[in-house]
Amino acid sequence: MKNTKLFSDSKIVIYTDGGSRGNPGPSAIGVVVGDKEYSEYLGEKTNNQAEYQALVFALKKAKQLSGKKKAKESEIEVRMDSELVVKQLNGHYKILEKELQPFFLEIWNLRLDFKKVEFKHIPREQNRRADKLVNYALDNNR
């Protein structure tokens, strides 16, 4: 069953966060797509790897929730508090860490499933729901 409220218009707002305790260390992601919340423990990762994995998860989930046809008509706005990742995805910074390059390529390809995908940096306090989901996964999956 599709979330018709979430996908009734052509713009989908997604909040993502990834975090690790230690760098690298135990890591998790938190994703908010409309009124749906997701968290997942990742294991040992760097903070940046977790941020990228949260975004991959979010784009896949948005496509799954909307369906292939509706996804092609949808504009996605991803809001995240990682300024580094947003600037990398928007082409302002190069991706120097080799382990992040495969995530970038996967995200680049996932973008093609939608009409438009924008990445926006937001202050941490505006990303509390996603951050809370990261901490929940870390606290419950150590």
Say what the pLDDT of residue 141 is: 84
Say what the pLDDT of residue 124 is: 96
Closest C-alpha among 43, 39, 34 to residue 17: 39
Q: Assess contact for 56 and 108: CB atoms under 8 A.
A: no
Q: Where are the domains of the chain?
A: 11-140
Blockwise average pLDDT, block size 10, the chain, 142 residues:
51 96 96 96 97 98 94 96 97 95 96 97 98 97 72
Say what the pLDDT of residue 3 is: 45
Q: What order of strands is seen across the sheet that includes strand 75-80?
A: 36-45, 25-33, 11-20, 75-80, 116-121
Say what the pLDDT of residue 64 is: 95
pTM: 0.92
Burial class (CB within 10 angstroms; exposed 0-12, middle 13-18, buried 19+) of 112: exposed
Q: Which fold has domain 11-140?
A: Nucleotidyltransferase; domain 5 (3.30.420)
